[in-house]
Amino acid sequence: MMRGGRSLVSSPPAFSNDAKKLLVCTSNTVSVFSTVTGLLITSLEGHTALVTSVIVVPPSNPAAKVLCYCWTASLDGTIRYWDFSLPELMKTIDIRMPIFSMVIPSFLDVPAEENGKHQDLFAYVSIEDTKETQERTKASRRQIRKCNLSKSRLVGRLILGETRKPEVLTVSPSGKFFGIRNKCKLHIWKVLDQGSERAAVRKITLHHTKKITVIAFHPTQRIIAAGDVTGRILTWRGFGNRAFAASNGVADQKLINVQEDKPGVRDNDDADSCSTWHWHSAEVNVLSFSSDGSYLYSGGKEGVLVVWQLDTGKKKFLPRIGSPLLYFIDSPDPTLSSISCADNQIHLLKMPSMGILKTISGIKAPCFYPDIHKGLGNGIAFDQTAGIVAVRTENYCIQFYSLFDDRGVSEVQVCERNHQPGDDVTVIVTSVALSIDGSLMSTSEVKLAEEGIGGLVCLKFWDAGSQNKEFSLSTIVYEPHRDAGISAVKFHPSGNMVVSSSFGGDFKVWKCNHDVIQNDQMRQNFSWTCHSVGSYKKKPMTAAAFSADGSVLAVAAETLITLWNPYKNVLLAVLGETLTPIVNLSFVGKSDNLVAASCGSNPQLSVWNMSKLSVSWSYKLHIEAVASAVDLSSFAALVLLPESSKKTTFKGMDGVILLFNATDPVPTVIWSVRKAKGGALCFVQVNPSSVEEISIDGKAPEVLLAYMNGDHEYVLFDPYCKDAREVSVSQKEGLAAHDHKGQAGQYGYASIYGELPEFDRKRPEAPWVPSFPSDRPWETIFSGSSHNLPPLTKLCSAFLESLLEKRTAAAE
């Protein structure tokens, strides 16, 4: 089983002591990347829930920089100690409560040994007490607690603070202070004796008028900075001079008693002054002081890193990062830093020039666009032969991501738009489709109308280069179905045809014209033209699919299924009616079965027999995705569970994957999954070059099932293996993939009407004949295909010419 697609930016990363490795929290593991190559080195596996904190143990002396130890905390309630050079788990501490954040100030403030006596190591954790008691309210279950890492337990009943929701802990570089933000307040703690379990802890609170989003401590001085939701940055100087000095037993009467003006400080807050800077237009997500304390880095939704000079307030910028900023981390090497972005990328920066050295890229987050069209596959397409998935991104691109290598391959700019984080969405990439071999791509997009005016639907065809899925645009069709939206785009098995269906009541079959241009460099030229147009009783065409041999085209006319000959554009048959509109059609491999999924108030999954032109069996299920094996008679369906099932049978799960043999209504295997909404399925062929890497019980599977959830996390596994390591609810014994075909071993069109005469795809095209403008254009202006009507300006002039007679000058 292979997993991937995990978020790289769920929590702040951490550098190793030599700055050659970057430790990144990726779901329930910690991935270790090389800062030189940006490639994955190893992973720390053991946690069973999201890892929320990773802390590298600092060296006690310069020679110890080669040591690679770290602590991790997770929502599974455990704290673990690792040697990430091997990697090896050294210690596990189970506090049995979810940990949302952890800091270890002792690393920075107290040596490991003092006066020859070993000092205990303490951590401070933000946890949720899951023990239900009548006296305890929900608001008091989120707590700040102290944990003795040396003795593997929480410190008694000591509770440093309680909050309404789990908060992120921030520790000062000196290790003397740590704090949290809580709405419009800052809570700062100082521990007097870091090595004592019963050490006194003092707290102060600073106030603000807006909700605080992030805080940062100065490395050497008592300065704390905070960013708020409006984009302002506040800097308090001399915080805790009264409370923390008194707690140390220092009788500095001059410091305590002298009443001075405290500019910018609210109420009776314990700080000398508070200054405000404002550049960001939205909330501040990133705040970090430079290692020498001279500069303050800030960032937010604009995708711009701002560098403030602390003494003067002057600033400079690193613009056009392209995505909202989340975390900024300094490394032990002063020339290297990292910045994490919301598009699931981590950029390694060269300081102080702030140039991007390397980018660690994960799969892009899903686009939560308005649900304009149903049945478009959630903007996800698979290259079954290469094991690559194509997903749409917020910056109007299609990202190609390798499922086997768990890394990005390339990006294609679909719409020529200057994307800026926070801009209003004006164009939506509604669908993406790939040919079986992955060499061709088709996309559809919608330009949204502004104040009810405008709006444009566009269909584009792309062809791939020889390397790394570098696609180039070959044909663009504006308004392919007039002003109607596109409901589905599917490729013919040969790749030479594409069908597009529309809610306007028609479908079009597009044909690829392939030419080889010989010049200085031989290159292929692809162009697409409309081959045929079809409709059925003016019903909206909501889904489409080709059979395995390409001889039959199935198009859903709302609640009906129409079967067509795609070459001759002849209606072959009409299958029975469903209760609600069909949004997904899929032929089951080379068998004579067709799967249809409908949505609405009465959702349904039905399997139709092409030989009998009747339904074989059906279920009342809410289907999110369907995938069919290319050479087998099995298919998989991703089902969304009703609320009642989530709470009883499938606790914590919101969907199941059902594996069917098309002739049997009883599923052979059932897997329960999370985040099924917006998910996708695909049967992926195992690349021969990866046979040595992918093996189950010493045997390489021929096909794997890929499941990608709504957050673009995915898993690859062998669906026909009895010992598949997935949460299985039930499994039918004797599972095997049988290849059932139609009558006399035929399928598709042949199973209904017999063998189809061979279609000559290489017939010579009509020779090009030069044409000249006619003296009477109104007689021929409307001839030709409907999708190729002339523009309005030409129509107007031709219409006026048809009403006026031209005078001929008489010679005298």
Tens of pLDDT, residues 63-113: 778 889 999 999 999 999 999 998 999 999 999 999 999 999 877 654 444
Residue 812: pLDDT over 70: no
pLDDT digits (tens, 9 = 90+) for 413-450: 998 776 666 677 788 888 999 999 899 999 999 988 87
Q: Which residues contact 181 (CB under 8 A, 6 or more apart)?
A: 167, 168, 187, 212, 213, 214, 215, 226
DSSP calls for 103-140: E-THHHHS-SEETTEEPPPEEEEEEE-----SS--GGG
Range list of β-strands (E), 219-324: 223-228, 232-237, 273-278, 284-289, 295-300, 305-309, 315-318
pLDDT digits (tens, 9 = 90+) for 51-60: 999 999 998 8
pLDDT digits (tens, 9 = 90+) for 447-497: 888 777 767 899 999 998 766 678 999 999 999 998 888 999 999 999 899
Helices (H) and strands (E) in the chain, counts: 6, 60
Lowest mean pLDDT among 121-130, 228-237, 642-651: 642-651
323 vs 364: CA distance, rounded Å? 11
381 vs 379: CA distance, rounded Å? 7
Read off the tokens for 192: 């007097």
Residue 765: pLDDT over 50: no
Lowest mean pLDDT among 23-27, 86-90, 645-649: 645-649
Mean pLDDT of 641-647: 73
pLDDT digits (tens, 9 = 90+) for 702-750: 889 999 999 999 999 988 876 554 433 333 333 333 333 444 445 555 5
pLDDT of residue 326: 94
Contact present, 682 and 662 (Cβ < 8 Å): no
Print burial letters for 236-247: b (CB count within 10 Å at least 16), e (below 16). Answer: bbbbbbbbbeee
pLDDT of residue 56: 96
474 vs 183: CA distance, rounded Å? 53
Element (H, E) at 609: strand 604-609
CA angle, 38 then 39 then 43, to 5°:
120
Residue 567: pLDDT over 70: yes
Contact present, 774 and 757 (Cβ < 8 Å): no
Contact present, 21 and 338 (Cβ < 8 Å): no
**Residue 385 vs residues 298, 402, 435, 441, 472: alpha-carbon distances, Å:** 44, 11, 10, 14, 20
Reading across the β-sheet that carries 570-575, which strands appear in turn? 541-546, 553-557, 560-565, 570-575
Mean pLDDT of 253-274: 70
Residue 255: pLDDT over 50: no
pLDDT of residue 61: 81
Q: Which residues contact 340 (CB under 8 A, 6 or more apart)?
A: 8, 9, 12, 13, 325, 326, 327, 328, 329, 346
The pLDDT mean for the chain works out to 82
Number of residues written out for the chain = 812
Q: Which band of pLDDT confidence, cut at 50, 70 and 90, is reported for residue 37?
A: very high
528 vs 512: CA distance, rounded Å? 5
Element (H, E) at 536: none
